[in-house]
């Protein structure tokens, strides 16, 4: 097994990179079977976008803050741990955003696609599922669509559900809804096409974001699963992403 190692550039990740380099013989990332990523969840998400649609697998070790997408940092028995690790394959969402000026932008999200108001006024949005209007207008700060892997991130902070990895559904979650006040969102089959329309683009501008890629002054957004860009990640035995998502639901 050929291993490469990359890091986020933080002092903790840089120190770990140097220590591992003294123990293991790493190859260039283009020649590796597995890439060891040192950093936090944000850096791991960057790696998802950088190394998607490849046969190369990612094994993250936490040198950041939260580390939900990473394994515990340990310098010992790295090859053995990777060899026995469990693999998860994640597929991103594709966001196609149409701006008020007529431009079209496409981006991918492994965590979530979010639409957020850009002014002091709430956004007036329409939600369509497979071209059928399911909510003619929701007044809110925004709306997000989360993958199972991203359901514990922004989606959970917005009171959306935590979704098991194998459930094959997406979470559609409102952000600070005003009307209808009691609507908590929906769980949707991952095969659906979601369309979110800004009903008042001129007076109530919104922005759209696919993970960290942001677009301003958006008129409408199309969201669907993208099968062509999978990412393969490895987790230590007993600490799979599915196990972490289950465990997260029982924390205070």
Q: Are 177 and 139 in contact (CB under 8 A)?
A: yes
Beta bridge partners of residue 223, listed in sequence order? 95, 194
For residue 93, cis peptide bond before it (omega within 30 degrees of 0)? no
Instruction: Return the closest-CA partner of residue 111 out of 81, 70, 152.
Output: 152
Catalytic residues: 41
E-strand ranges in the chain read 3-7, 34-39, 57-62, 86-90, 93-99, 104-109, 112-117, 123-129, 132-140, 142-146, 169-175, 186-189, 194-198, 206-210, 213-215, 218-225, 231-235
Strand ranges across the sheet with 218-225: 104-109, 93-99, 218-225, 194-198, 123-129, 132-140
Neighbours of 218 (CB within 10 A): 26
Token pair listed for 94: 């594709």
Burial class of 145 by CB neighbour count within 10 A (0 to 12, 13 to 18, 19+):
buried
Instruction: Return the closest-CA partner of residue 136 out of 187, 45, 86, 197.
Output: 197
Compute the distance between CA of residue 221 and CA of residue 225 in angstroms, rounded to an integer. Answer: 13
């Amino acid at each position: 097994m050929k291993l490469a190692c990359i890091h986020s550039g933080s002092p903790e990740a840089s120190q770990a990179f140097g220590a591992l380099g003294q123990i293991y013989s790493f190859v260039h990332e283009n020649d590796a079977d597995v890439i060891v990523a040192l950093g936090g969840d944000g850096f791991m998400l960057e790696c998802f976008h950088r190394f998607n649609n490849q046969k190369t697998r990612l094994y993250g070790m936490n040198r950041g803050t939260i580390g939900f997408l990473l394994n515990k940092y340990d310098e010992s028995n790295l090859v053995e741990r990777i060899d026995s690790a469990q693999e998860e394959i994640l597929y991103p969402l594709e966001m196609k955003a149409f701006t008020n000026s007529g431009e079209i932008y496409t981006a991918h999200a492994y965590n979530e696609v979010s639409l957020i108001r850009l002014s002091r006024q709430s956004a007036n949005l329409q939600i369509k599922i497979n071209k059928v209007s399911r909510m003619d207008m929701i007044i809110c700060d925004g709306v997000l669509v989360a993958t199972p892997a991203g359901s514990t991130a922004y989606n959970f902070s917005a009171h959306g559900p935590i979704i098991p990895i194998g459930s094959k559904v997406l979470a559609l979650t409102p952000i600070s809804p005003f009307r209808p006040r009691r609507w908590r969102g929906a769980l949707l089959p991952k095969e659906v096409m979601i369309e979110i329309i800004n009903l008042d683009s001129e007076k109530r501008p919104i922005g759209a974001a696919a993970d960290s890629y942001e677009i301003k002054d958006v008129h409408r957004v199309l969201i669907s699963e993208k099968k062509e860009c999978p990412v393969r990640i490895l987790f230590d035995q007993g600490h799979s992403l599915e196990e972490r998502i289950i465990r997260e639901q029982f924390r205070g």
